[in-house]
Structure 1
Amino acid sequence: MEASRKIKASSKLSFRGKHNSTKMHRMIPWESTLERDFIKLLDYDPTVISYKFQPEKINYVYKGKKRKYFPDFHVLKNDMKEYIYEVKAFEKTEDEENKVKFQVGMKFCSERKMKYVVVTEKEIRKGFLIENLDILSEVRQDSTSRKIMNVVFRTLEKLGGKTNLGTLKKGISQFNEEEVESNIFHLIYTHQLKMDLISAPISDESFVERMSN
């Protein structure tokens, strides 16, 4: 395994940046907005333990020339298996050069008992998921209150274990609505409460329920 590639500043107009990971507690670089959105999914996915951006370098030969391939993400999941994810716009998955990279990546992973996965906007940008995760992830853990969260759980239980967000907030009058909403959002983001984040933007009409055991 070789050292990861250093991300150089581009002289061309391009989308590059860093995302403050809620899981890795540091800035993670990205080289496309699709990669940025995939990082948000990795942060939210409870099966993901840790991940790195472009930590692998794979040498290969294409059309008689030596080339280097840096897959996008190396991910460790709670099944203790390692995954390599390549993030690619769907329209580019049929490009000959990309198909070669995919084959190189699959061979690299097969030899190391890892899994190689290509993901596109079809898997990453489902419905309103990314937009909703942006809202939920804005809540800082140090701004939450265990006392308020316990009241949220008790109130939801009294309401039958499932109700819409507006009704749940109104049922908790001892704290201000903004505090209550922030704590509910934190509970959803940390998978302690469940909400459909794909079908519609988060609103007071969105249903909230306890996670099943």
Structure 2
Amino acid sequence: MEGFEVAYADRDGSEFRLPLANAWAVRFEDVAPVRAFQSYQGQRHLPGLWWSATVGGHIGYESWLERDHVMLLDFDPSVVGISSQPFWLFWRSDAGKGVSHAPDYFARREDGTAVVVDCRPADRRKPRDMAKFEATQTACAQVGWEFSLVGAPDAIVVRNVRWLAGYRHPRHRLESVASELLVAFAEPRPLMSGAASVGDEIAVLPVLFHLLWTHELAVDVSVPLHTEAAVSVGVAGGC
């Protein structure tokens, strides 16, 4: 493999192609998708758009697996930018044949580091696909990006985060209730009793779930979320 190049498009439609070594400073979290998210009768995958609280706009996905992973990126408090189908990567194989690949996601972290993500179920990774993923990993290493090849995420984590995602929009944040909840959970306590201590659960719970999404409050999402789940002040709430 040699001579990696990338091609991308900015939000106004301008297209660029340049050596990978010259692209390390490009804000790929802000680029437009290089491929359209097509929908047609009989297709195996279900494409769509995910409204991201991180970027305040929609991010495309081509399958439910990709949807789950963009949701998890959106939930990750260290991620500050996400784009889908961020660029085409071009290179030549050891046999001299031209090869190209468009990764699924590019995510920028708060510390400036980046991760390129490809989503593929473990049982659907054919040798030809693996060769592309390995080349993409090599390319990412050359410019200091992490590469992550992901399959099906933990089902319980996905179920919990999907529930919290229903409250990710800022409209669920009522400042007066949020302030009281942060005080109520200053020490860890069961979810429902903490909510009840602030007021009517019907009014309070949407705000509580929003604070769990924003990590101002914290709960263990690796186990089923329930009324007795221990909730405490989170990484954002303690700032």
- State the TM-score bracket (shorter-chain normalisation): 0.7 to 0.9
Structure 1 moving runs of 4+ over 6 Å: none
**How many residues in Structure 1 have an aligned counterpart in Structure 2?**
203
Partner of residue 135, structure 1 = 163
Q: CA deviation at 1:171?
A: 1.6
State the distance in 2 between where 1:136 and 1:181 align.
11
Q: TM-score, normalised by structure 1?
A: 0.86
Across the aligned residues of Structure 1 and Structure 2, the Cα RMSD in angstroms comes to: 2.0
Q: Does the CA contact (< 8 Å) of 1:5 and 1:55 recur in 2?
A: yes
Q: Does the CA contact (< 8 Å) of 1:127 and 1:199 recur in 2?
A: no
- 1:9-66 residue CA offsets vs partner (Å, 9 max, x unmatched): 2444232111111211222111111110001011110111101111111123467753
Give 3-state SS (helix, strand or coil) of 2:221's partner. Answer: coil
Q: Does the CA contact (< 8 Å) of 2:37 and 2:61 recur in 1?
A: no
After TM superposition, the structure 1 = structure 2 runs for residues 144-183 of structure 1, keeping only pairs within 5 Å, are 144-157=173-186, 161-172=187-198, 175-183=199-207
- TM-aligned CA distance change 1:8 to 1:194, over 3 Å: closer
After TM superposition, the structure 1 = structure 2 runs for residues 1-213 of structure 1, keeping only pairs within 5 Å, are 1-3=6-8, 4-11=33-40, 12-14=42-44, 15-61=46-92, 65-93=97-125, 95-121=126-152, 125-139=153-167, 140-157=169-186, 161-172=187-198, 175-200=199-224, 202-211=225-234
Aligned residue identity for 1:78: E
Question: Structure 2 regions of 5+ residues with no counterpart?
Answer: 1-5, 9-32
State the distance in 2 between where 1:115 and 1:19 align.
23
- TM-aligned CA distance change 1:31 to 1:170, over 3 Å: same
Q: TM-score, normalised by structure 2?
A: 0.77
State the distance in 2 between where 1:89 and 1:52 align.
21
State the distance in 2 between where 1:117 and 1:134 align.
21
Question: Structure 1 regions of 5+ residues with no counterpart?
Answer: none
Q: CA deviation at 1:190?
A: 0.8
What fraction of aligned residue pairs are identical, expressed as a percent?
20
